[in-house]
Structures are given as C-alpha cells and as structure tokens.
Amino acid sequence: MLDSLHRVMNTVTRLDNAMAVLSWDQETYMPEGAVQSRAEQLATLSGLRHQHLTSEESQRIGEGARKLAHDLPERQRLVVENFLEEQERSLKLPAEHVERLARATTLGQDAWKRAKDAKNFALFSDALSEITELKKSEAELLGYEGHPYNAMLDIYEPGLTVDHLNPVFDALGSGIKSLLARIEPRSATVSDEVLFRTYDGQQQLKLATEIIQKLGFSMSTGRVDLSAHPFCTQFDRTDVRLTTRIREHDLRSCLFGLIHESGHGMYEQGVDDSLSGTLSAQGASMGIHESQSLFWENIVARSEEFWHWAFPRVKDAFPSQMSDQTPESFFKAINCIKPSLNRVESDEVTYNLHIILRFGLERDLMDGSLRVNDIPAAWNAKMNELLGVVPASDDEGCLQDVHWSFGGIGYFPSYTLGKLYSAMLWNAMNRELPNAADSISNGEFAPILEWLRKNIHQYGKTEKPDQIIQRVCHSPLTEVDFLEYVTKKAARVYGI
C-alpha cells in the first residue's frame, strides 16, 4: 500500500514540477504571444493533477495508508498525513474550479503586466475581479471558521487565522511607529545615496551570484535568470531556479533580491532526500520559507559583521562608486530607515507597514467590504495613513506586486511572518552558536547554514509552522524578538 501511495505522490509531484517549469518559462523566456496557449496548458495540467489526486483509486490507496500510518516511523507517518490533508483539500474543490482558476491566473498575470506597464489599474480590474470571485468560492468550498480570509491564510500558513494575526500586527505596527518617531530627528545623519549611483548590470549580477554561492547556494543544482519580479521555484531539490532583476541606478535590487531568493533556494536544496517525490518535499509554509530568505537577506546580509567581509568584494567590483565608502558607512546606507512607496525596495522596518496595508485590503476583499474597483483609492489612503506617502500612479501603488494576479490572496502576511520568525530563529541560533556573528564577519557561513538545515530545512513539510517555531525557539509567534532586533540595529545606525 505504501508503494502505491508513493506512486500516486510521484505522479502528483511530477505534474507540479511540469507546471512549475511552464510558469518559470512564462516569467523568463516565453514570448508575449504565447500567453493564451500557456493558460490552456497550465489549466490542463492542473486538471490532471486534481484528477489523479482525487481519483477513486487514489482515495482507496489513501485510506489504506491511513490505516497503516500509526505503525510507521514518525517521518513516514507525517508524509502520509500530509498526503491525506492535501487529498482532502482537493476533494473539496471541483475539477472545473481548479481549471478555471489556473486559466484565470495565467491570463491575470499577463493582464497585470500590461496594466503595470500602462500605469492603469483598470486594465487589470476585470481579471482581478474574476480571480477574487474564484477565491471567494474556494473559501466556501474549503470551509472556514470565523472570517472567510482564514481559508486563504490556511493555504500559506496552516493554522493561522485573522484573530491570531490581528493582535500581532497591531502590536508590531505600534512598535514600528514608535521606533520611527525616535529615528525621525536623526534621519538626516544617514544617507543611502551611494546605492543609487550607476552600476553596470552584468557586474552586479556577477557579484551577487558569487556572494550567494559563498553563502551556500549550490549552482550545481540551481541556476539564476532575470525576470520582472524576483522569485524562486523548484522542480526538485536538485533543480532550483532563482531569478532577480537589475537596475543600473539601484544596487539593492539585484544584490539583495538575489540573496533573498537564494535563502528560499537553500531551503529547497536542504530538504532531506528521503522526502523526494512526496508532497512533503517542500517548505513547511510560506512564512517559514520567508523566514529563510529574510534570514539571509536581513539578519545576515544587512548586518555590520557581513560588510566587514563583503565590502572589499563590492569595492573590487565597483571601485569608483565605492571610493568614498567604508564598511561602516555602507552598512548604514543599506540600513537607512525611511518610508517609501515600494514594498520590495523598502527597509526592513517600514516594510512591515506595507504588509499590514495589503493584509487589510485582502481581508476586506474576501468579506466583500472592499470592491476591486475601489482598490486604488483604498490603497492610496492606507499608504498615506501608515507611511505618509502617496503613489503618483498605479504602477507605484496597487500594481507594484504580482501576487494577486497569480491568485496569491493570503500570501502577503507570510513576508512579515518571515521577519518575525527570522528574528526568533536568530536568537535561538545564538543560544547554540554564540560565535555566529563572528562567523559572518569572517565569511564562514557553513555553520549557519548547517544549523538551519539541522533545525528546519531537512524536515520539509512534515511539521506545521507553529510546531517548528515552538520546537526551535521554545515560544509561540511573537513580534517581540523582531522589535528588539530592529531597535538594536537602529541604535547602531542612527545613534538613538
């Protein structure tokens, strides 16, 4: 029976991998004219996946495995439980819904690109309306307690609810605003001008790729390409794809974008080989996944210790641009804290206000208190309230993110969860590796990656996110560690 179960899972994961290849190609090399045929290809594969996972034979095999599960070693038992959870979720979704959503999101991504280029949300509103209605229907099909947004949160962060998230985000937002008030009188003492000088694109990509390899991303089982929106995808732990984007007048975009995605990639490369071909051979949740990317991007690569090691490499790559900089001044530049329009390019403190904004809009979309056509006005009002800035056009505001176009309603909170988790994990790591900061300063990243693999990566999806955080950090989710972390860094950068 277990052999039969693994055959079912292998087929499902291969279909997942095939769809991932097509989606990766759509974002990197596919010609614009192919979007309609790509939508049909992905819809067909989504339907086949659903059909295979929910067939009478697969259900029979699942029930047989359920009866055997209690006698299995723990990891195998958890693999079976993950399969059964996925099958039960899929059984609630008709094949027609799955195919419609795959088609709508493929076309939606194309509509989003066109709307963003034209700076006109109206060109995306019809596509987003269809996607939103499909996600509302999905929430009803899946079932939920309390708020309909809980059904979406559960997809990306199992067990998380609006009632759990509201108080954490409220406390986080309050703590951030208090910190910003302390920084404001000292804001003129730190400049990030160096980041916006002219930097050759190919040299940026070469430098960033060399750095992620040093961190531990394996290019023998991964590669790097360019896309409009940076992402990481994997077709197997031996085939992990990263993308980044290059801006000649913004050094952060390529460098920190690729470090961020490499954190996702190292997570995928570190899943235990025994999980290969199962539905557990992936990250535990998007919040845990983001904790890994944000750990490397922020905890490591925005630390002062990191720039003791990395600054000479950046200076070798860009000698004229760095001629007036020191490791200390560059460290301060990349940690300049100030409200901005763009989430991806914001600092690690105000970034969370961008997520709180999106969380509120998504929550209101799902319960019907916000209409799709009212998003631009609602977005601009919340930007003004939370960050004190207002986008001049839709591409700077409500069209800056790709997530809604691929149906990722419920995804955004994962980014801030990742920040909170990463600060908690850093404190836990330091209790076991008290010399972790020295390792970073010396460019010795292997002990850090090994700790993450031992405590998180190897388990794949065999544990729930709250179980991981409780096991490793001996605490439930909290904003306290993150606020302490950013306050300490702000003190170093601004002298507050």
Residues involved in catalysis: 261
Tokens of 32: 């614009």
Residues linked to residue 74 through DSSP beta bridges, in sequence order: none
CB atoms within 10 A of CB 70: 8
Q: Would you mind telling me the total number of residues written for the chain in this entry?
A: 496
CA distance 441 to 425: 19
**How far does Cα 10 stand from its chain's mean position?**
25
Tokens of 33: 């004219």
Question: Left, alpha or beta for 371 (phi > 0: left; psi -120 to 50: alpha)?
Answer: beta
SS (H, E, C) the chain: CHHHHHHHHHHHHHHHHHHHHHHHHHHHCCCHHHHHHHHHHHHHHHHHHHHHHHCHHHHHHHHHHHHHHCCCCHHHHHHHHHHHHHHHHHHCCCHHHHHHHHHHHHHHHHHHHHHHHHCCCHHHHHHHHHHHHHHHHHHHHHCCCCCCHHHHHHHHCCCCCHHHHHHHHHHHHHHHHHHHHHHHHHHHHCCCHHHHCCCCHHHHHHHHHHHHHHHCCCCCCEEEEECCCCCEEEEECCEEEEEECCCCCCHHHHHHHHHHHHHHHHHHHCCCHHHCCCCCCCCCCHHHHHHHHHHHHHHHCCCHHHHHHHHHHHHHHCCCCCCCCCHHHHHHHHCCCCCCCCCCCCCCCCHHHHHHHHHHHHHHHHHCCCCHHHHHHHHHHHHHHHHCCCCCCHHHCCCCCCHHHHCCCCCCHHHHHHHHHHHHHHHHHHHHCCCHHHHHHCCCCHHHHHHHHHHCHHHCCCCCHHHHHHHHHCCCCCCHHHHHHHHHHHHHHHCC
Token pair 């292997």: residue: 446
Give the C-alpha distances (Å, rounded to integers) separating 348 from 48, 307, 338. 41, 17, 10
Q: What CA–CA distance (Å, rounded) separates 451 from 241?
A: 23
- Tokens found for residue 241: 């794809």
